[in-house]
Structure 1
Amino acid sequence: MAAARETLTPGTQVGAYRIIKPIAKGGFSLIYLATDEDTGEEVVIKEYMPKKLARRDVQQRVVPMSMSYAESLHHGRKLFFQEVKALASLHHPNIVRVLAFLLANDTGYMVMPNERGRNLGAYLQERKGGLSTSFLLDVFVPVLDALALMHRRSMVHLDVKPGNIHLRHGNMPLLLDLGAVHPLNRSRSRGGQVITAGYSPLEQYFRDGEVGPWTDVYAVGASLRTCMDGHTPQPAPERQKDDQLIPAVDALKDRYPEFLLNAVDWSMAMDPARRPQDAEELLVTLLPHLDDTYRTRRRDASE
């Protein structure tokens, strides 16, 4: 019996794609570099393979570790399909594209372009914070624009963080890992899903928490704060008990402009009602501080 989370071996064929090598592992997926056999181009393939629920059998199928996990594995697979559907419906230069979706080995495979670049989370670990104002605006304004599209489509990301932002040439960002993407209905959606300490606001920790676009806004503010001071912010439950997070406008006033620090503090308000209610509202406050090139590019994209 194969060990849990065993990756597909190099050379394995999945549809029209041949695996080159595994390149990353997440809590719910395995990521591979592969070749499109029809075009010869390199692609990235994301395989649904949850660490705590699944193993690979001798026929390479993804199966539950035990029958008690079967229902959870089936539910997770449905959420993975939801991610693919959400991504395929979103056409934005700063949201990762879906090239194809395959069903094989009793699981799903999402095929994406192989975008050269670096991960913002890894870059932060090297730099220890202190990223420039121009860098932050170059990265997070397009991210907010991408989130604004999602929010207009009644979707929330629910896992915005530096590790889910890929930087291409010229620091052009790409928002990754929409595995937590959650379509909203008329009523406010409930929390209790994906949690990343420091980036997830309080409402995301509880099943009766009211999550929405304002939840993504908190995560953007927390990501900006990390890029500034090099530390993951105090987790929201700890802030609720004893908030030791010094407002950015006080802690970083000698290093960053007031408009940006105010945006961070506004976004990270503990009370969801006191934050920007969606990415567009936060973005609008930043636009007057951007150069004409970006404003023109954003206007043209919306026409």
Structure 2
Amino acid sequence: MRRRLDSLKPGTRLDGYVLEKPLGGGGFSVVYRARQIDNGQLVVIKEYMPNKLARRNRRGEVQAKNENTESRFSRGRKLFFQEASTLATLKHSNIVNVFNFFQANGTVYMVMEYQDGKNLQHYLQNRRGGLSETFLRTVFPPLLDGLELIHANDLLHLDIKPSNIHIKHGGQPLLLDFGAVHGFPQSRLEQLGQVISPGFSPVEQYDSKGYVGPWTDLYAIGATMRACIEGHAPVNARKRQDHDTLKPARIAFRKRYSDSLLRTIDWAMEVDPLLRPQSVAQFRDALAVETLLEQETPRSAFGRLASALWGKG
């Protein structure tokens, strides 16, 4: 049975915004569609709401569940605020724009630009995988550029997966949902809790003593690329650690995609973090070894992508 989302009611006003409806939530946050009161602009607001550490009282305030969770909740709230302030300074065409953050109701809120477009997960489900090499080589290099900026600011995304990638009108990809973002390097012992997306999270995110770093996000990138081919999430990394039954992409899909693309995906998805690319630059270089099978300019490639997504050029 699905757990009831502990969210604020539609119509609630917060710091110049009015909430329209909850869009979803995870272990650490609730996401709302909202509107700016003074100009009617649609926005997305993410609320720090760790459901294992906190609860909402009748006044809508978020507070620690008990004395045992008070320190972790307070530390998490502080980190969420610090990271929101950092994300607000990261401006990149392939990263969702965080343009405001504030404290209210005993917690912290992050305000992001609302984006129309096609969610990659929905597109993937409709197509049942089999996305072309042109698609992969069009969408993922710009995402890597945005991810590189995140890493350059000593931050990690830690929840890259198809549902956190949108394709804007015109074909440009956008990396969404920074609710799991953390600084690095650090061990899981120093983090507030585990953010796990089965199939996309590598083994170090399951391990309280595992060290996360750029290699963690790159595993998720590789897994997301593989999901675009297969149409579903890869095998859980914890199961792969115990007994790896995942057939390498270079073998499973060799008749449909270039060897260099498939080997790059396999490299990113190595179970051992030390065997993966350690930086976006390393991964990008490997991905660029072979050019598109059909030589296209970036503009024509994005045009083909837009046509595939929205039925027009």
Q: TM-score range by the shorter chain?
A: 0.7 to 0.9
Query: Equivalent residue of 1:264, what SS?
Result: helix
2:248 counterpart of 1:244: no
Residue 26 (structure 1) aligns with? 26
Query: Equivalent residue of 2:134, what SS?
Result: helix
Residues of 2 paired with 1:151 and 1:229: CA distance?
28
Query: Equivalent residue of 1:277, what SS?
Result: coil
Aligned residue pairs: how many?
290
Residues of 2 paired with 1:206 and 1:21: CA distance?
35
Contact 2:161 2:221 in 1 (8 A): yes
Cα distance, 1:116 vs structure 2: 0.6
2:233 counterpart of 1:223: no
Q: Please tell me the residue identity of whatever aligns with 2:250.
A: V
Residue 100 (structure 2) aligns with? 100
In the alignment, structure 2 segments of 5+ residues that lack a partner are 300-313
Residues of 1 paired with 2:164 and 2:64: CA distance?
27
In the TM superposition, 1:149-160 aligns within 5 A as: 149-160=149-160
Cα distance, 1:150 vs structure 2: 1.9
Contact 2:156 2:214 in 1 (8 A): yes
Residues of 1 paired with 2:86 and 2:296: CA distance?
31
Greater Cα offset, 216-225 or 124-133 = 124-133
Query: Equivalent residue of 1:116, what SS?
Result: coil
Residues of 1 paired with 2:187 and 2:146: CA distance?
22
Cα distance, 1:292 vs structure 2: 7.1
Query: Equivalent residue of 1:179, what SS?
Result: coil
The verdict on how the C-alpha distance between 1:53 and 1:224 changes in structure 2, with shifts beyond 3 A counting, is same
Residue 266 (structure 1) aligns with? 267
Residues of 1 paired with 2:196 and 2:4: CA distance?
23
Residues of 2 paired with 1:68 and 1:190: CA distance?
22
Quick one: which of 169, 175, 191 aligns to 2:188? Answer: 191
Greater Cα offset, 199-208 or 33-42 = 199-208
Residues of 2 paired with 1:25 and 1:209: CA distance?
25
Cα distance, 1:22 vs structure 2: 1.9
Residue 181 (structure 1) aligns with? 181
> How big is each residue's C-alpha offset from its partner over 1:60-100, in whole Å with a ceiling of 9 and x where there is no partner?
21123334332232232123223312311311111111121
Query: Equivalent residue of 2:115, what SS?
Result: coil
TM-score of the superposed pair, with normalisation by structure 1: 0.87
Query: Equivalent residue of 2:131, what SS?
Result: coil
> How big is each residue's C-alpha offset from its partner over 1:90-149, in whole Å with a ceiling of 9 and x where there is no partner?
111111111211211111111111111232123222222111112222221111111112
In the TM superposition, 1:136-155 aligns within 5 A as: 136-155=136-155
Residue 300 (structure 1) aligns with? none
> How big is each residue's C-alpha offset from its partner over 1:214-265, in whole Å with a ceiling of 9 and x where there is no partner?
1111111111111111232122221122111111011001121212111101
In the alignment, structure 1 segments of 5+ residues that lack a partner are 296-303
Cα distance, 1:267 vs structure 2: 0.9
Q: Please tell me the residue identity of whatever aligns with 1:190.
A: S
Q: Please tell me the residue identity of whatever aligns with 2:66.
A: S
Q: CA RMSD in A?
A: 2.2
> How big is each residue's C-alpha offset from its partner over 1:135-168, in whole Å with a ceiling of 9 and x where there is no partner?
2222211111111122223322222111211221
The verdict on how the C-alpha distance between 1:141 and 1:64 changes in structure 2, with shifts beyond 3 A counting, is same
Residue 89 (structure 2) aligns with? 89
Residues of 1 paired with 2:6 and 2:272: CA distance?
43
In the TM superposition, 1:47-86 aligns within 5 A as: 47-86=47-86
Residue 123 (structure 1) aligns with? 123
Q: Please tell me the residue identity of whatever aligns with 2:275.
A: R
Residue 255 (structure 2) aligns with? 254
Cα distance, 1:183 vs structure 2: 2.0
Residues of 2 paired with 1:59 and 1:263: CA distance?
51
Greater Cα offset, 258-267 or 193-202 = 193-202
Q: Please tell me the residue identity of whatever aligns with 2:121.
A: G
Greater Cα offset, 223-232 or 205-214 = 205-214
The verdict on how the C-alpha distance between 1:11 and 1:210 changes in structure 2, with shifts beyond 3 A counting, is closer
Contact 1:268 1:275 in 2 (8 A): yes
TM-score of the superposed pair, with normalisation by structure 2: 0.85
